[in-house]
Amino acid sequence: MSTRRRRRATGRAQYRCVCGHELKKYWAFCSNCGRGQQWKDLDHLTGAECYRCGWVVSDTFSFCPWCDADIHEEGYSSERPLKAPRGFRMDARCDWGCGGGVQYPMPYCPWCGRPQSWNEEDLFEGECPHCHRGVDDLMNVCPWCGLDATGRDLIPRALTRVRRLLLVSRIRDWGYRVLLRPGVSGVDPRWPKAVEIEQRYVIGSKRRDEIPWTMLVGLLTHELGHSFLYHHWDWTRSRRFRRAFGEVDKAYRGMDNTWVYFQRRRVAIAPRDFVSAYAAKHPQEDFAEVFRFYVTRRGRLRDLFAEFGQKRKGVILYEKFLVLHDFVRALRGWSELR
């Protein structure tokens, strides 16, 4: 996930939504409450607003750079494309080579009306799974298209199932946040709560990569295992944890780039001390797989252990599940005491 950026904008908040949330100029929607925004000519920069969307424009434009309405007016609109008329900057030239200048984040060229693309990698942490423009991990609504910036609206069924499974397994919500993003599925140890799921599995362009929602549940619970472990990292230093799982080196970052591994719901016969073949790859994968089985089997150790018995699994595997089980119980105990 090398494309991940974590730069925060500096400087004072200048614009706020009526809900109080900070906005960047020319965001079409508030990223917090989803209200549509309208950027009028409040500062009297140009003395002109688009007849259709009401946003600030220049008399020299031929098209509204915000909604693409034809606003050409004889005698006002410039005969040839300009770079930056009063009230606007030139941040780039039009993508289509009409010769005009465009200002970030205009979606359309004010001179030729054609759509513009912006490289927002350094401005945002990720991209919206709906419109592919830049969004941050904590945004609920995409400031560009107004849809769910996390993409969770695309996998409601799997998420509902996962929430229910966590509930019946009695695992308290640790504040995880599922995000559909391009790249690979995984959790970055620096941001333990952000659980990224490869969006191609869900919104494959040719629907070829799409995976059934039941398998998505397996992938999600595996990734949540990574998130849970990073969130409770101190626990990995306990003797009991280390005896069961070994040394989990935090530098490791799981790159779970195939869902196929996480579809099995039955315990594998080999390898003997692991719940699945994938678990043997790394102690952190081992934990994520134990977590996945624990959650998808609803924390019912009796059923799981019966299956281990039939499959002659190693004693250490029982211990891995007991370590997790006791930890989950302890977490619950602490929260009930508070």
Alpha-carbon gap, residue 329 to 299, rounded angstroms? 11
The window from 140-148, 195-203, 243-251, 314-322 that contacts Zn ion (CB under 5 A) reads: 140-148
The window from 87-95, 189-197, 199-207, 240-248 that contacts Zn ion (CB under 5 A) reads: 87-95
Q: Does 254 bind Zn ion (CB under 5 A)?
A: yes
One residue of 29, 63, 88, 144 binding Zn ion per CB under 5 A: 144
Q: Does 67 bind Zn ion (CB under 5 A)?
A: yes
Q: Does 250 bind Zn ion (CB under 5 A)?
A: no
Q: Where do we find the tokens 């629907």?
A: 207
Q: Does 286 bind Zn ion (CB under 5 A)?
A: no
What tokens does 98 get? 């009409």
One residue of 52, 72, 237, 243 binding Zn ion per CB under 5 A: 52
Contact between residue 32 and residue 15 where contact means Cβ atoms under 8 Å apart: no
Contact between residue 128 and residue 142 where contact means Cβ atoms under 8 Å apart: yes
Count Cβ atoms below 10 Å from residue 324 Cβ, excluding itself.
Answer: 27
Q: Does 179 bind Zn ion (CB under 5 A)?
A: no
Q: For the chain, first and last CA: distance in Å?
A: 38
Q: Does 32 bind Zn ion (CB under 5 A)?
A: yes
3-state secondary structure of 186: strand
Compare residues 22 and 319 and give the one whose CB is closer to Zn ion.
22
Compare residues 53 and 323 and give the one whose CB is closer to Zn ion.
53
Q: Does 292 bind Zn ion (CB under 5 A)?
A: no
Compare residues 169 and 221 and give the one whose CB is closer to Zn ion.
221
73: nearest Cα among 58, 84, 83, 87: 58
What tokens does 315 get? 């004693």
Alpha-carbon gap, residue 201 to 181, rounded angstroms? 10
Q: Does 103 bind Zn ion (CB under 5 A)?
A: no
Q: Does 290 bind Zn ion (CB under 5 A)?
A: no
What tokens does 138 get? 């904590």
Which residue type sits at 99?
G
Compare residues 18 and 315 and give the one whose CB is closer to Zn ion.
18
One residue of 88, 108, 111, 287 binding Zn ion per CB under 5 A: 111
Give bridge partners of residue 148 from the DSSP assignment: 141
Query: What single string gives the DSSP state of each residue in 27-77?
Result: -SB-TTT--B-----TT-SSS-B-TTT--B--TT-SB-TTT--B---TTTS
Q: Does 123 bind Zn ion (CB under 5 A)?
A: no
Instruction: Report the interface residues with Zn ion, using CB under 5 A.
Output: 17, 19, 21, 30, 32-33, 35, 50, 52-53, 64, 66-67, 69, 94, 96, 98, 100, 109, 111-112, 128, 130-131, 142, 144-145, 254, 256, 285, 288
